[in-house]
Amino acid sequence: MLQGKTIMITGASRGIGAAAAREFAKEGCNVVLLARSGDAIAELAGEIGEKALAVPCDISRYWEMEAAVQAAVDTFGALDVLINNAGVIEPVSHMLRADPEGWGQAIDINLKGVFNGMRAAGPVMVSQGGGTILTVSSGAAHGPTEAWSHYNASKAGAAMLTRCLDMENRADGIRAMGLSPGTVATQMQREIKASGINPVAQLDWSVHIPPEWPARALVWMCTPEADAHLGEELSLRDEGLRRRVGVIS
């Protein structure tokens, strides 16, 4: 069903992004890998093969995101799916002691980076007759967490961007949705664990799901089976969703 489609993934150097790249490649997709770590995405592209393109990119800079979209179109002839996955949790800090520059950098990546992706990819997709834009969200978008004001605020903003995109461009063929994966065994969770500062940091490692689960969910969300959820944020904590995407029986 997704054979031959071109998928762009931000934050593709590790974690959910890298797992998603592998899952989409298994479906016969072209994958465009974006991250600031050029070496890591180049290595992943080498693993996947000729259907992968590595594009070093700082998504907080619009012109870099725009150039990455153009590279995808130049290489594969189209852009069908954007996965807004890149995000940072550092610097973890109570708000009144937060470093303003670090706080702002987190907003630049987690919120502006999502907008930049939508703004750069959306018009290309509309010109093609449609496309899918998925954003990796978080439970942090919907309630405060101690020492995560930057993360809570940016994820809440990104969730609203998904709703705005759906409202404005569903009629143009844009399928916009969010995925809240729950806690995932990634480098970000190691950083959270090391901070020790709030209840999320106290969770036992065994409760975190593998990154392949949200990767499979993202693939499923690109199919017509997910059309009933356009404009919504899906939670992978939901056992029904886990069954539908095939990660549990």
Catalytic positions, written as ranges: 151
3-state SS record for 148-173: CHHHHHHHHHHHHHHHHHHHHHHHHC
CA quadruple 104, 105, 108, 114: dihedral positive or negative? negative
Q: Is the bond into 123 cis (omega within 30 degrees of 0)?
A: no
CA distances from 2 to 27, 69, 125 (A): 6, 19, 16
Nearest C-alpha neighbor of 168 from the set 109, 222, 230, 220: 230
The single-letter DSSP state of residue 110 is: I
